[in-house]
Amino acid sequence: MSVFTGSTQNIVVRYWVKQITPPVASRYISAHIHPIRPKVVHMSAHRPKDTLWWRVSVNKILPERRVVRSWCARRVRTAFTQAMRQHGFDEVGRLLPGSSEGQGNLTGTLEIFIHPPCVVQNYEVVQKDASQLLSQVMAHRAAQISTPKDASTKNASTKS
């Protein structure tokens, strides 16, 4: 499974074309005696596969106070949601009506990591970074869709 990594001074993204269960859900799913496990298993099994599963991580800014971490995460989520709307998608990666994007819904898993300089940046800079990284993710996704999944099978069939 191919992972795309893109970064700016403020934000790092990792994108997988396929959906990956988030770490918190994985922790509950693997704990067979945890009381919340059945609910998490049910939610994970019924989560729509035709959408983008994305989350924002504040692990790199842990020294900051909780209020700063939550403010910064909310700011990055808002910037990323606005970038998705600018690119013709809703907040979960579905095409908006009347959008000119030809690749269909944006699917897969996207993790967004906030770097410490993001805390002091203007919102416009964060928004620009989110839009730039989303463009890179979309370009990577388009390249993944356009290339054959198994080039060796293609080569074997042309040699026969």
Cβ contacts of residue 125 below 8 Å, gap of 6+?
10
Looking at the structure of the chain, the number of domains it has is 1
Q: What is the pLDDT of residue 145?
A: 76
Domain that holds residue 65: 3-20+49-146
Q: What is the pLDDT of residue 152?
A: 47
Q: What is the pLDDT of residue 156?
A: 47
Q: What is the pLDDT of residue 146?
A: 76
Give this prediction's pTM. Answer: 0.83
129 lies in some domain: yes
Q: What is the pLDDT of residue 148?
A: 62
Residue listed under structure tokens 């918190």: 24
157 lies in some domain: no
CATH number of the domain residue 12 falls in: 3.30.230.10
Backbone angles phi, psi at 43, to 5 degrees: -65, -40
Ranges in the chain, pLDDT < 50: 152-154, 156-160
For residue 52, give Cα distances in angstroms to 90, 137, 138, 150: 10, 12, 12, 24
126 lies in some domain: yes
Q: What is the pLDDT of residue 40?
A: 92
Q: What is the pLDDT of residue 149?
A: 59
